[in-house]
């Protein structure tokens, strides 16, 4: 899901006409941008305050030909006037922590410092006379810097990829979409080790090409290969073609598009739209007044769109969506515990933080930030430090970090800890793990080995926590947990402190005794005797509490079923007995009296019974020990079916009761009889 | 008590008209209400908002505004006339033309010496208030465009006028405009439309508050002519403003049916700097709120949806009680239906005509026998049909008419009685004696005229006059506190004065006891023979009435007696009817412990136990929105309902419709 928030105006725009260079570049901090416009003025704005911080203009007669950029090493702003250094400059590109790159009109590239050191050096001509650069971008990868630029020559579009150290220039051909269709905008982002190039054609097609950061096959000089591409989205264009439009990826599954008509609105209206490329859906749209220039920028969660005579800033939010979460059953107990989960939330567990009453939220204090180690330092420390040291460091780090920071680093730290534990069997900082899990920033996909590790180490307290807090546990791991719990002896589990889950189990077994004593007689002529036969809990309290957590883990039927088959017959029998016990208890209405934050629902229990029987029916049918269990389940189900059929019979009379309450339609006149007493 | 056949009648299409203006008289706590059909109603705030007086309207009346000057009430309208009302006789006292085209507003200064009217031609006209008339004094500097709203500064030296797109401040001494405040138009499409300043208020500290068609409430500084603060209250129009007497609270009525309260509060606790802050929103109306009043402990509002809503401000009320309840007055506190008990006829009073229907014939459907249109522009102020069904009388402010009615087998003939006694020129109340032989007409100057009715016509007998100048009615509902009883047309006695007005009363045909129900829901019974309260009445007073009875918020509008059982009294208000069994009262008057609405409980009990649990008040809430309940000769009940849904259905569509999830 994505949403556009209320927009605000950053500044008014001078009317520059179509030829004016207007550009927005990021400044040294996230909240500032450098705006170059009207060919003569550069202004630095503080975005959140909507205020200009400084402004420069060039002399009369001069003209800014390349937008101003920030030069981090020298802390200066650099601008090119009248296209000239030693050859015609196309554009400057700011690179984090490095000198800006200078791209010349004929394709040569230099770092600014080397250019300034020898201003009169000769600049080679890479491109032919008629080849014109249309777009360029510098992409900073982990270690490497890549400059991309596209050119046009007689309707032919090419993409050049310039890599540095060693310098290499690779040329690709860009296939056009159809006849007369030209690329309108490009955007390049670095993601998962690859450069993703997104380009929008005037026919409304949005293509994505993935360029590997390091080319595996050295480019064969002389041949120009077409760039492999995939169609991401076909935007509705309406009649005619797009003229000024722009598409920009805002995260891996969303793109922002300006200048493309809204599919539902009529012509003549301009919209900013957020599209989901996974599901091909329009997620949010905002009408923009005034002329659209087909320009769009995105910095730190805000979109910058010039339209009419203003530059609007539109904050947005894109929540991650995942198909696995959409398909899996995110089963949650409802009612008393107040945990609500949205279907879209499995990656980012942090968001339920507010709703989750169960989790003790750690106080994030910023006071000892100076003494607090950075994540990198900590990760290093984890590799070598003793258990106590690591424990202390993790605690300090958790106390001293900002929530945003934690979100990014929690998974990394946990993975580092798990790796250390796997390498060193004596190392197991249980408290550190617990604290990390309880921050709520951790999920199973963040450190896949943690849950398995807890099982290896028989740390059931942490296992319980993980089962409670991770929403994305794969079915295989769920089954693995189930198997381990079932195979453990009750006596071995008794030392584990399971808190709330244990209380629920205690209350459940106690009510059993009370009701056994008290309600042995008849109830409305109905005897409970045959049902109350086997009411003692088949497993220990601790094991029961852990099984309850497993029951509440989200899962998907078809994915769980094959893994359930791994359980052996005694385990299946024990689990079935326990489920039957729970179900009988629930059907006696015992659970509703027990105040617990987390408890399995009746539907969860029933679903597990069905799954278990599906997975093992033939085996159970052949096992003599299972016979009595199966018959008692059958008996119980039969009595339930009978009850519902009886209820169905009186449904008609219940309906009539409901109807009698509704008032009748009264006409203009009626004669009625009333009786007063 | 037994079974009753109930004729449930819903064919009386009573339609109240929209409220146009409200005015408050603080000394006597009276609220005047002007409706679009020209009717002016007077409500008594101190007496449970009882509707004391109704001055009937007339066709083409277009009252726009009301103003009190002391005890005197003035109105002005789009027909360009200023009217002073004669509140003693419930009619217009005189009318004068302001000669300035349609009048949009009228307001008096605090000193009570002058009236100002705002006219279509752009003039503010000042009238001097004399003892018996008002006299035109001068015009203030004429402006271009109509004067929509006016407000005096409490000192009387300045007056502020709201116009189109502009507000002018006039000096009343020189008559010149001293300030001109420009009001912004709305954004978007409404930019092309003029901004109408619907209402202005001039506070004693020099602040001017305006409400306009752009949906804004603006605070201005009158000395510098600058805008201090602007509040966007609604997307539609702000139609009306009213400030409390201590100038700390402001009520704003909007066309989407909301009333918004602003309060003059200090922004920081303990500091002196105060600001107008929007505090509360009341959503009691579905349509335009055309008038709003801030009366210290409550906000009174009325508008297109015809309801008169009293919304109490709970922060100013300490105790729970009558004053803390939300009141919604939809029906008049008087009877619009009269009934011929013997003939089974119902007479419905509409503003411009009467309808006579026959009910009480179980085999036949009820049918409309007569549709009597009145002549002239004046609306009907009262009407009655005689118990035998042979006579119909009605009166407007200008004329009184009596008709002889013959009903035989679907043939209805009606003859106007031509030679009426001259004294019968108009009436406030009309009443027939129970044997239909006498006609009592309550008229102006506190007199009741009595006439004998026979085949030949109507013969005047005498005029009953109270000794003092007070007014009275023999039987019927009137608001005067002093009640005189006459016997054989001679003054007989005076009923002790009760603090609350009488909403309904009747003399018992056999015992000659006068049964009265007051606006504060108290019941009294006075023995005319013994000239004292009856024992039953004293017992009721001593015992006290049940709290649920006292908490009802609509007054009883009709009292009748069961002809078969003299101990049964039938009463009704808007939401219930009730039969009081006077034989039961001594042992079982409902006290606070017992269940008051106990009919359902009694129904489920075996017969023997019922007696133990029943009490004197047989409440029936099956029928709602009652205009009239009467017990006929044959022990059947006639119930006239007017569902509010039907009234709402006839209203125009509201500007703002509630949409799902907005």
Other beta carbons within 10 angstroms of residue B586's beta carbon come to 12
State percent of chain A over pLDDT 90: 3
More confident residue, B312 or A340: B312
A244 pLDDT band, cuts 50/70/90, is confident
* pLDDT (average), residues A556-580: 89
> Could you tell me if the ipTM is greater than 0.85?
no
- Order of strands across the sheet with B2-9? A669-676, B2-9, B637-641, B626-631
What is the nearest CA distance from B624 to chain A, expressed in angstroms?
12
Is pLDDT larger for residue A303 or for residue B362? A303
Which pLDDT band, with edges at 50, 70 and 90, does B201 fall under? very high
- Percentage of chain A exceeding pLDDT 70: 82
Q: How far apart are CA B583 and CA B502, in angstroms?
A: 24
Question: Is B2 an interface residue toward A (CB < 8 Å)?
Answer: yes
**Of the given ranges (A506-515, A605-614, B125-134, B333-342), which has the lowest mean pLDDT?**
A506-515
Q: What is the pLDDT of residue B432?
A: 84
Q: Cβ contacts (< 8 Å) between B620 and chain A: which residues?
A: 674, 676
Instruction: Give the per-residue pLDDT at A599.
Output: 84
Question: What sign does the dihedral B592-B597-B599-B601 (CA atoms) show?
Answer: negative
Q: Which of A239-248, A352-361, B297-306, B456-465 has the lowest mean pLDDT?
A: A352-361
Q: Peptide bond preceding A166: is omega within 30 degrees of 0, i.e. cis?
A: yes
Q: Check whether A485 has a pLDDT greater than 70.
A: yes
Instruction: Give the CA count within 13 Å in the CB-facing half-sphere of B584.
Output: 19
Q: Is A565 left (phi over 0), alpha (psi -120 to 50) or beta?
A: alpha
At residue A617, φ and ψ (nearest 5 deg) are: -60, -45
Burial grade of B84 (CB within 10 A; 0-12, 13-18, 19 or more): buried
- Condensed to tens digits (0 to 9), the pLDDT of residues B468-498 reads 333 334 443 333 445 555 655 666 777 777 8
Helix, strand or coil, per DSSP, at residue A389: helix
Task: Give the total residue count for chain A.
Answer: 677
pLDDT at A60 (0 to 100): 78
Task: Read off the pLDDT of residues B593-623 as tens digits, 9 standing for 90 and up.
Answer: 667 777 777 777 788 877 777 788 888 888 8
For every residue of B64-119, DSSP letters joined together read EEEEEETTEEEEEETTSEEEEEETTTTEEEEEEE-SSSSEEEEEE-TTSSEEEEEE
For the sheet containing A109-111, what is the strand order? A89-93, A101-104, A109-111
Taking contacts as CB-CB distances below 8 angstroms, the residues of chain A near B10 are: 666-669
Q: Report chain A residues touching chain B, CB-CB < 8 A.
A: 666-677
The residue among B301 and A413 whose pLDDT is bigger is B301
**Residue A355 pLDDT > 70, yes or no?**
no
pLDDT averaged over every residue in chain A: 78
Helix A375-384 with A403-423: angle, nearest 10 deg: 10
Average pLDDT on A484-502 reads: 83
Determine whether the interchain pair A677/B7 forms a contact, defined as Cβ–Cβ distance below 8 Å. no
Which residues, 6+ apart, have CB-to-CB distance to A352 below 8 Å? A339, A340, A341, A345, A440
Cβ count near B265 (within 10 Å): 14
Check pLDDT > 80 for residue B649: yes
- pLDDT score at A343: 29
Q: Which of B562, B563, B567, B575 shows the shortest CA–CA distance to B627? A: B575
Report chain A residues whose CB lies below 8 A from the CB of B4: 673-676
- CB B620 to CB A673 under 8 A? no
Question: Which tops the pLDDT comparison, A40 or B430?
Answer: B430
CA distance B556 to chain A (A): 20
Confirm or reject contact between B206 and chain A (CB < 8 A).
Answer: no
pLDDT band at A488 (very low <50, low <70, confident <90, very high): confident
Mean pLDDT of B158-165: 92
Query: Does B144 lie at the interface with A, CB-CB under 8 angstroms?
Result: no
Q: How far apart are CA A277 and CA A271, in angstroms?
A: 18
Q: Is residue A350 pLDDT above 60, yes or no?
A: no
In Å, how far are A111, A609, B47, B390, B460 from B454, measured between CA atoms? 121, 94, 41, 10, 11
Task: Provide mean pLDDT across the span B654-659.
Answer: 64
Residue B300: the pLDDT is: 93
Q: Is B550 left (phi over 0), alpha (psi -120 to 50) or beta?
A: alpha
pLDDT > 90: percent of chain B: 25
Taking the Cβ of residue B365 and every Cβ of chain A, the question of whether any pair is shorter than 8 Å is answered with yes
Q: pLDDT tens digit string along B52-64? A: 888 888 888 788 9
Classify each residue of A40-52 as buried b or exposed e, where b means 16 or more C-beta atoms within 10 Å of its C-beta.
bebbbbebeeeee
Q: How confident is the model at residue A510 (pLDDT cuts 50, 70, 90)?
A: confident
Is the model more confident about B178 or about A73? Answer: B178
Give the number of other Cβ atoms within 10 Å of residue B15's Cβ. 13
Measure CB to CB from residue A676 to each of B9, B362, B599 and give the nearest one: B599
Q: Which residues does chain A have within 8 Å of residue B362's beta carbon, measured at their own beta carbons? A: 671
The whole-number pLDDT of residue B210 equals 93
Shortest Cα distance from B490 to chain A (angstroms)? 41
Q: How confident is the model at residue B661 (pLDDT cuts 50, 70, 90)?
A: low
pLDDT of residue A663: 60
pLDDT (mean) for B428-444: 81
Q: Look-up: residue for tokens 């790159």?
A: A101
Q: Is there a contact between A565 and A615 (Cβ–Cβ < 8 Å)?
A: yes
d(CA A398, CA A406): 7
Name the pairing type of β-strands B124-129 and B114-119: antiparallel
Residues of chain B with C-beta less than 8 angstroms from the C-beta of A663: none
User: CB–CB of B11 and A668 under 8 A?
Assistant: yes
Mean pLDDT, rounded, of chain B = 84
Tell me: pLDDT of B128 over 90.
yes
Q: Which of A575, A581, A589, A591 is nearest to A543 (CA)?
A: A575
pLDDT reported for residue B220: 92
Paired residues of A12 in beta bridges: A310
Q: How confident is the model at residue A526 (pLDDT cuts 50, 70, 90)?
A: very low
- Is B10 close to A673, i.e. CB distance below 8 A? no
* Nearest-CA distance A290 → chain B (Å): 14
| A53/B451 Cα distance (integer angstroms) | 95
The arithmetic mean of pLDDT across residues B144-161, rounded, is 91
H or E element in which residue A152 lies: strand A145-153
Instruction: Identify which of B230, B231, B242, B238 has the alpha carbon closest to the alpha carbon of residue B214.
Output: B238
Q: How confident is the model at residue B591 (pLDDT cuts 50, 70, 90)?
A: low
CA angle B147, B296, B285 (to 5 degrees): 65
- Decide if B603 touches A, using CB distance below 8 A: yes
CA–CA dist A281, B305 (Å, integer)? 45
User: What is the C-alpha to C-alpha distance for residues B254 and B212, in angstroms, rounded to an integer?
Assistant: 10
Of the candidate ranges B259-273, B391-405, B605-619, the one whose mean pLDDT is the lowest: B605-619
A449-464 mean pLDDT: 88
pTM for this one? Answer: 0.55
What is the pLDDT confidence band of residue B590, given thresholds at 50, 70 and 90?
Answer: low
- Of the two residues B365 and A482, the one the predictor is more confident about is A482
Averaged over B304-327, what is the pLDDT? 82
Q: For residue B8, which residues of chain A lie inside 8 Å, CB to CB? A: 666, 669-672
Whether pLDDT at B317 is above 60: yes
Kindly indicate the confidence band of residue B320, based on its pLDDT and cuts at 50, 70 and 90. confident
pLDDT at B345: 87
- pLDDT tens for A617-672 read 888 888 888 898 889 888 888 888 898 899 888 888 888 887 776 666 677 888 88
Pair of tokens at residue A56:
């420069």
Phi, psi for residue B218 in degrees, rounded to 5: -120, 140
Helix axes A626-649, A602-622, angle to 10 degrees: 130
Interchain CB distance below 8 Å, B2 and A676: yes
Distance CA B585, CA B587 (A): 6
Q: Is the distance from CB of B35 to CB of B41 less than 8 angstroms?
A: yes
For residue A577, pLDDT beyond 50: yes
């Amino acid at each position: 899901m994505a949403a556009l928030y209320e927009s605000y105006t950053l500044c008014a725009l001078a009317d520059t006409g179509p030829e004016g260079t207007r550009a927005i570049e990021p400044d040294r901090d996230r909240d500032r941008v450098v705006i170059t416009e009207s060919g003569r003025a550069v202004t630095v704005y503080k975005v959140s305050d909507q205020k200009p911080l400084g402004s420069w203009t060039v002399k009369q007669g001069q003209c800014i030909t390349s937008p101003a950029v920030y030069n981090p090493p020298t802390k200066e702003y650099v601008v090119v006037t009248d296209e000239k250094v030693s050859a015609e400059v196309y554009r400057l590109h700011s690179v984090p922590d490095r000198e800006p790159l200078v791209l010349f009109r004929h394709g040569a590239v230099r770092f600014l410092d080397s250019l300034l050191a020898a201003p009169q050096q000769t600049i080679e001509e890479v491109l032919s006379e008629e080849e014109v650069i249309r777009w360029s971008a510098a992409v900073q990868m982990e270690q490497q810097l890549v400059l991309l630029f596209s050119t046009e020559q007689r309707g032919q579009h090419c993409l050049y990829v310039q890599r540095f150290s060693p310098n290499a220039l690779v040329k690709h051909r860009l296939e056009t979409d159809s006849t007369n269709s030209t690329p309108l905008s490009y955007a390049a982002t670095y993601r998962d080790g690859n450069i993703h190039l997104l380009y929008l054609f005037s026919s409304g097609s949005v293509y994505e090409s993935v360029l590997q950061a390091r080319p595996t096959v050295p480019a064969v000089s002389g041949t120009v290969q077409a760039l492999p591409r995939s169609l991401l989205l076909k935007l509705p264009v309406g009649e005619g073609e797009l003229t000024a439009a722009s598409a920009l990826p805002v995260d891996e599954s969303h793109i922002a598009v300006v200048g493309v008509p809204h599919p539902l609105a009529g012509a003549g209206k301009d919209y900013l739209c957020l599209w989901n490329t996974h599901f091909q859906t329009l997620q949010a749209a905002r009408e923009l007044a005034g002329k659209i220039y087909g320009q769009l920028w995105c910095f730190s969660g805000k979109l910058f769109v010039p339209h009419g005579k203003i530059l609007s800033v539109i904050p947005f939010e894109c929540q991650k969506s995942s198909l696995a979460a959409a398909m899996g059953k995110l089963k949650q107990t409802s009612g008393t515990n107040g945990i609500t989960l949205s279907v879209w939330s499995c990656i980012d567990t942090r968001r339920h933080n507010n709703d989750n009453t169960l989790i003790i939220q750690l106080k994030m204090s910023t006071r000892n930030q100076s003494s607090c180690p950075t994540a990198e330092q900590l990760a290093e420390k984890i590799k070598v430090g003793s258990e106590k040291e690591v424990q202390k460091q993790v605690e300090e780090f958790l106390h001293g970090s900002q929530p945003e920071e934690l979100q990014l680093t929690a998974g990394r730290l946990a993975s580092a800890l798990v790796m250390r534990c796997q390498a060193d069997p004596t190392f197991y900082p249980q408290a550190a793990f617990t604290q990390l899990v309880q921050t709520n920033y951790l999920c199973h996909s963040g450190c896949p080995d943690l849950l398995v590790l807890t099982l290896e180490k028989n740390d059931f307290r942490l296992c319980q926590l993980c089962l409670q807090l991770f929403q994305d546990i794969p079915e295989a791991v769920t089954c693995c947990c189930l198997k381990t719990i079932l195979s453990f002896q009750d006596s071995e589990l008794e030392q584990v402190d399971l808190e709330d889950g244990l209380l629920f189990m205690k209350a459940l077994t106690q009510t059993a005794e009370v009701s056994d004593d008290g309600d042995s007689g008849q109830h409305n002529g109905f005897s409970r005797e045959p049902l109350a036969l086997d009411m003692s809990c088949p497993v220990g309290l601790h094991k029961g509490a852990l099984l309850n957590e497993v029951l509440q883990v989200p899962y998907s039927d078809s994915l769980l079923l094959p893994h359930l088959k791994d359980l052996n017959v005694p385990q299946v029998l024990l689990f079935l007995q326990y489920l039957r016990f729970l179900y009988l208890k629930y059907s006696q209405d015992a659970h509703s009296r027990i105040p617990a934050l987390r408890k399995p629902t009746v539907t969860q229990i029933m679903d597990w019974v069905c799954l278990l029987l599906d997975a093992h029916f033939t085996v159970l049918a052949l096992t003599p020990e299972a016979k009595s269990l199966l018959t008692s389940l059958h008996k119980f189900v039969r009595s339930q079916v009978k009850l519902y059929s009886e209820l169905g019979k009186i449904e008609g009379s219940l309906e009539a009761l409901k109807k009698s309450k509704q008032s009748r339609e009264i006409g203009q006149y009626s004669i009625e009889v009333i009786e007063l007493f | 008590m037994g079974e009753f056949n109930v004729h449930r009648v819903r064919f009386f299409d009573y339609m109240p008209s929209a409220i146009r203006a409200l005015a408050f008289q603080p000394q006597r706590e009276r609220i005047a209400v002007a409706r679009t059909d020209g009717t002016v109603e007077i409500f008594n705030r101190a007496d449970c908002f009882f509707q004391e007086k109704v001055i009937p309207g007339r066709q083409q009346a277009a009252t726009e505004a009301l103003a009190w000057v002391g005890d005197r009430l003035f109105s002005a309208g789009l027909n360009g006339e200023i009217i002073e009302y004669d509140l003693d006789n419930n009619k217009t006292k005189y009318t004068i033309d302001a000669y300035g085209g349609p009048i949009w507003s009228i307001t008096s200064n605090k000193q009570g010496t002058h009236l100002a009217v705002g006219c279509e031609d752009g003039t503010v006209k000042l009238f001097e208030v004399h003892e018996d008339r008002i006299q035109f004094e001068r015009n203030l500097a004429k402006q271009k465009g109509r004067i929509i709203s006016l407000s005096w500064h409490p000192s009387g030296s300045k007056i502020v006028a709201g116009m189109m797109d502009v507000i002018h401040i006039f000096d009343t001494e020189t008559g010149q405009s001293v300030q001109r405040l420009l009001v912004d138009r709305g954004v978007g499409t409404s930019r092309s439309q003029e901004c109408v300043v619907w209402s202005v208020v001039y506070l004693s500290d020099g602040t001017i508050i305006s409400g306009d068609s752009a949906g804004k409430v603006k605070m201005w500084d009158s000395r510098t002519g600058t805008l201090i603060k602007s509040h966007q209250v609604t997307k539609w129009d702000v139609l009306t403003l009213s400030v409390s007497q201590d100038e700390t609270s402001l009520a704003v009525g909007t066309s989407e049916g909301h009333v918004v309260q602003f309060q003059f509060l200090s922004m920081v606790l303990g500091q002196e700097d105060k600001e107008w802050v929007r505090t509360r929103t009341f959503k009691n109306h579905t349509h335009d709120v055309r008038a709003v009043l801030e009366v210290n402990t409550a906000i009174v509002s009325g508008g297109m949806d015809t309801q008169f809503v009293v919304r109490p401000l709970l922060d100013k009320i300490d105790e729970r009680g009558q004053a803390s309840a939300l009141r919604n007055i939809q029906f008049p506190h008087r009877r619009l239906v009269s009934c011929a008990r013997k003939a089974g006829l119902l007479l419905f009073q509409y503003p411009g005509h009467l309808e006579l229907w026959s009910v009480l014939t179980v085999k036949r459907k009820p049918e409309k026998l007569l549709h009597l249109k009145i002549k002239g522009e004046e609306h009907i102020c009262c009407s009655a049909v005689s118990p035998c069904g042979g006579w119909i009388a009605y009166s407007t402010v200008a004329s009184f008419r009596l008709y002889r009615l013959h009903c035989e087998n679907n043939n209805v003939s009606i003859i106007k009685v031509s030679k009426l006694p001259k004294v019968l020129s108009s009436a406030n109340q009309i009443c027939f004696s129970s044997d239909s032989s006498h006609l009592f007409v309550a008229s102006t100057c506190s007199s009741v005229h009595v006439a004998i009715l026979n085949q030949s016509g109507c013969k005047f007998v005498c005029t009953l006059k109270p000794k003092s100048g007070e007014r009275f009615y023999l039987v019927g509902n009137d608001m005067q506190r002093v009640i005189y009883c006459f016997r054989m047309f001679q003054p007989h006695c005076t009923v002790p004065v009760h603090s609350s007005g009488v909403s309904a009363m009747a003399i018992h045909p056999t015992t000659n006891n006068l049964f009265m129900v007051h606006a504060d829901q108290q019941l009294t019974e006075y023995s005319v023979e013994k000239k004292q309260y009856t024992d039953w009445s004293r017992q009721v007073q001593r015992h006290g009435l049940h709290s649920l009875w006292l908490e009802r918020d609509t007054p009883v509008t009709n009292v009748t007696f069961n002809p078969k059982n003299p101990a049964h009294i039938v009463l009704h208000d808007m939401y219930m009817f009730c039969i009081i069994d006077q034989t039961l009262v001594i042992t079982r008057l409902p006290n606070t412990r017992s269940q008051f609405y106990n009919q359902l409980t009694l129904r489920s009990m075996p017969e023997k136990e019922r007696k133990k649990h029943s009490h004197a008040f047989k409440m029936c809430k099956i029928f709602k929105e009652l205009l009239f309940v009467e017990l006929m000769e044959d022990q059947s009940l006639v119930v006239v309902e007017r569902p509010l849904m039907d009234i709402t259905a006839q209203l125009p569509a509201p500007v703002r419709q509630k949409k799902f999830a907005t």
